Amino acid sequence: MAKATFAGGCFWCMVKPFDEQPGIESVISGYTGGHVENPTYEQVCSETTGHLEAVQITFDPAVYPYEELVELYWTLIDPTDAGGQFYDRGESYTTAIFVHDDEQRAIAEASKAKLEASRKFSKPIAVKILDAKPFYEAESYHQHYYKKNPAHYNRYAIGSGREAFKQTHWGK
């Protein structure tokens, strides 16, 4: 098993798409990239910890390779938005791929370069590729929010503009 870590705005919306893929053992919502140990949701939202909301995925690369995780990641975000994602604004909602080794870095950088070269977007790709830092699991009520609160999750995914963006830029 291997780990992959992606920040894509609100972590609620990042779990389900990864959770539904074969070879995924777990998808955990949490915080990473900052300087405060064991931050709370309230601390991260205060924009004083340096942490981003993120998901950490434990996966079997023989079943679902890292390259495919990165490709799926692009379809879940607006890769050109450096100020947050959709309805959610601020540093804690910005995007990043946190790489766990040199192979992941090479794959993420090549994938980002390919997306930029495709000219799919008129603005530059703003997603940072960073070394993985300690990952802190979010509070239990954030875990698998789409299963615990499906009606609210669906309203949020639609109301935030995330779903419309996905349909416009990536289709089904």
The catalytic residue positions are 10
Q: What's the angle, vertex CA 80, arms to CA 79 and CA 86, rounded to 5?
A: 75
DSSP 93: G
Alpha-carbon gap, residue 129 to 111, rounded angstroms: 11
Distances (CA, A) of 39 to 23, 29, 107, 134: 30, 13, 30, 11
Q: In Å, how far from its chain's centre is CA 137?
A: 14
Distances (CA, A) of 117 to 122, 168, 171: 11, 19, 20
Helix (H) or strand (E) holding 130: strand 128-131
Give the pair of three-digit tokens for residue 141.
């009520």
